[in-house]
Amino acid sequence: MPALELLAHLDVAAASGVVWHQGSLFVVADDGLALLRVSLEGSSPSLLPLRPGAGGAALAKAAKPDFEALLEVGGRLLALGSGSGPARRRGVWLAVTGGPPAEVDFSPLYAALASRFEALNVEGGVARGGEVLLAQRGNGPGREDALVRLDRAVFEVEVAAGEVTARALRGVTPVALGALEGVPLSLTDLCVGPRGELLFTAAAEATDNPWDDGEVAGSVVGVLAADGRAEGASLLTAAGVKLEGVCAVEVAGRWELRLVADPDDASARAPLYRCGWPR
């Protein structure tokens, strides 16, 4: 089984997603209003504001938009709120080559999803084929992990128009992940591998709601089958680490993973990890 290799500590505390886009890694933090842009090794940092004039300062939990997911949509990056509260149902769509960020209202879609889940908490997403897949993290009382399946064409049109509705919704697939050290695993991110496989990160965190942090037993990286079940044994297990973001990158003709974790400590810096291709 491959191991994590620490590459850098990033200039954000609560890293929640990572995407490889146009030759750089982009990291979103759930307590911030800017994307952090770094190299594959975590060097040469710069900030891309998600709101005009925003910097890298961390926000209080009650005030943050809770950007938990980052994905590439329509050639741009989309930072997406978790939906775990009324102020957390917006997204920001931006081109890294310039131009102002555009706010996107997800409340119509999230209202439809909130009727399906006891505790809505979108923590990851990825475009794959004709779909956009959102990762519902089941760290609420009902432990409802799921893939939310959206029509990609409809989703991209609605994102560009500034409002995403339930018209994009194709369905919801429950996800079964099991436990790590007796603590239930819950989805934290998704990415697509070189052969189209759907990789996920999941954290074992002792909490029963999307708002409060808990003791972390560790995290796993695995592959999800079409029925939402994890395929066999985990590809990677990391004890004591809460992995919240994963992306696949090609380096000198070889595939690798880049992963970010949230240390749940505002005074700590989020780690960026490398992992050799686990399959």
pLDDT, tens digit, for every residue of 52-67? Answer: 766 666 656 666 788 9
Q: State mean pLDDT over 1-26.
A: 93
Q: What pLDDT is attached to residue 141?
A: 82
Q: State mean pLDDT over 172-196.
A: 95
Q: What pLDDT is attached to residue 51?
A: 85
Q: What pLDDT is attached to residue 210?
A: 66
Q: What pLDDT is attached to residue 64?
A: 75
Which of helix, strand or coil describes residue 63? coil
Q: What pLDDT is attached to residue 98?
A: 86
pTM: 0.94
| 80-94, 211-225, 248-262: least confidently modelled range | 211-225
Structural domains for the chain: 5-276 (2.120.10.100)
DSSP state, 183?
A: E
The sheet with strand 236-239 has its strands ordered as 179-180, 183-192, 198-206, 215-224, 236-239
Which of helix, strand or coil describes residue 267? coil
Specify whether the CB–CB gap between 153 and 208 falls below 8 A. no
Q: State mean pLDDT over 181-201.
A: 95
pLDDT, tens digit, for every residue of 141-161? Answer: 889 999 999 999 999 999 999
